[in-house]
Structure 1
Amino acid sequence: MQERVLEVRRLGRVGYGEAFELQKQLESEVIADREKGYLLLLEHPHTFTVGRRSSENGVLATAEILRSIGAEVFETDRGGKVTYHGLGQIVAYPIISLSPDREDVHRYVRDLETVLIRTMAEYGIEAFPIEGLTGVHTSEGKIAAIGIHIKRWVTTHGFALNVNTDLSYFNWIIACEGEPVISMEKLLGYELDMAEVGSRIIRNFKEVFGFDQVIDEMAATEFAAV
């Protein structure tokens, strides 16, 4: 049996539209060759994304406010409602095949939650799922949002983990079910190394999803500086 290989791309700061186009390109590649998958780790500039389940009033900010806070709005094909992406946040986009033995959407979401929960545990943060909701939560609020899209059992989109995130941007949206949000920095009381958190995510992702080999050529490269 051929080894399953995960290629990691640490992209630094990337606009939402550019990242979306890259996902679609890699989605086609994985549909053609299901033994190889990709994991994109990146930061977005201040962005509000509107998922398929969003209502029209999910973004509270007017066009004038959006200009003043330097944020853009994108409609996207992932599941879920409105969420925020921005600096100090690690966004992970897995483009992997769930076929033939993981063809279960709910299991996929649970597995993503497991990756995040294990990573948080390494920092002494107790994180957990909540029945009926997606994402990963703590006693102080939601620390990671999940929104996915699956085509022919190949995944795109993924999760956003609040590491050193400016949480004030969440005030301009009705995020998911309206629950409070929190960051790793706020819970721990210090700014975290983004590249190190990314490396822990990669290791846990490999273990949870059973990849045989990880190609991470930029393992020592830090995310783009703010």
Structure 2
Amino acid sequence: MSAILVRRLGRCDYESTWRRMQAFTEHRDAGTLDELWQVEHPPVFTLGLNGKPEHVLDPGDIPVIPVDRGGQVTYHGPGQVVIYTLLDLRRSGLGVRALVTALESAVIDYLATQGIAAQARAEAPGVYVGDAKIAALGLRVRRGGSYHGLAFNLDPDLSAFDRINPCGYRGLATTSLAALGGREDWRQAATGLTKALSLRLGRPVTAA
């Protein structure tokens, strides 16, 4: 299996990045290499296909964008490491459940390198430290290709999550690596998470 290309896009507008993912997936063919995009977004709430508007409690000046991933509402903003998974699932022989498990396990593995024990929950996708959520997942599969992916709380403004019911759960606590005493910067965390995901997928990665 060929290496996955890793693109470090830096801070990018959410909607234009989402449209770019859609276009990539729509136009990819059997020879298109898989990619992982490392991104950070300005503040935005995104509402998944099953999302209920009432879970957006007080958006204030943060835009709310309905999108085509699964799940409910979540927040993206500065201090968050987002990794988008543009993978040909059919070619990889990878199912959606297996990809979700790989993403969750990669976060757990990365946190373990920071001395933090974390776990996934079967009833609520994502990764948790105790009762607090530190990473959210959301995927879309079209034409056998996946997009959207993983959002990891490195050091975002956690008060933004108070404006929503995170992932549709009222009162769900959120946390971050910084709040737990971690000292990695954005580049280090993005690199560590990508390495952990590469190992879980059994695929090498290379810089685009």
Partner residue, 1:203: 195
Partner residue, 1:165: 156
Alpha-carbon offset, residue 215 of structure 1: 2.1
Distance in 1 separating the partners of 2:189 and 2:29: 29
Amino acid at match of 1:33: G
CA gap of 1:161–1:37, structure 2 versus 1, over 3 A, is same
| SS, match of residue 57 in structure 1 | helix
Partner residue, 1:222: none
CA deviations on 1:113-146 (whole Å, 9 max, x unpaired) are: 0111111111111111012110001115000000
Equivalent pairs counted in the alignment come to: 206
Larger CA Rg, structure 1 vs 2: 1
Distance in 2 separating the partners of 1:96 and 1:123: 28
Partner residue, 2:101: 110
Partner residue, 1:88: 79
Alpha-carbon offset, residue 211 of structure 1: 1.7
User: Does the CA-based 8 Å contact 1:142-1:181 persist in structure 2?
Assistant: yes
2:51 to 30, 54, 74: 54
Alpha-carbon offset, residue 192 of structure 1: 2.8
Partner residue, 2:7: 9
- Calculate the TM-score normalised by the size of structure 2: 0.93
Distance in 2 separating the partners of 1:18 and 1:209: 27
Amino acid at match of 1:206: S
**Aligned residues: CA RMSD:** 1.6
CA deviations on 1:17-51 (whole Å, 9 max, x unpaired) are: 111122122213544425x2110011110000000
| SS, match of residue 201 in structure 1 | helix
Alpha-carbon offset, residue 60 of structure 1: 1.2
After superposition, where does 1:1-226 map in structure 2 within 5 Å?
A: 3-33=1-31, 36-61=33-58, 65-66=60-61, 71-100=62-91, 102-176=93-167, 177-178=169-170, 179-188=172-181, 191-212=183-204, 214-216=205-207
Q: Percent identity?
A: 31
5+ unaligned residues in a row in structure 1: which ranges? 218-226
Alpha-carbon offset, residue 157 of structure 1: 0.3
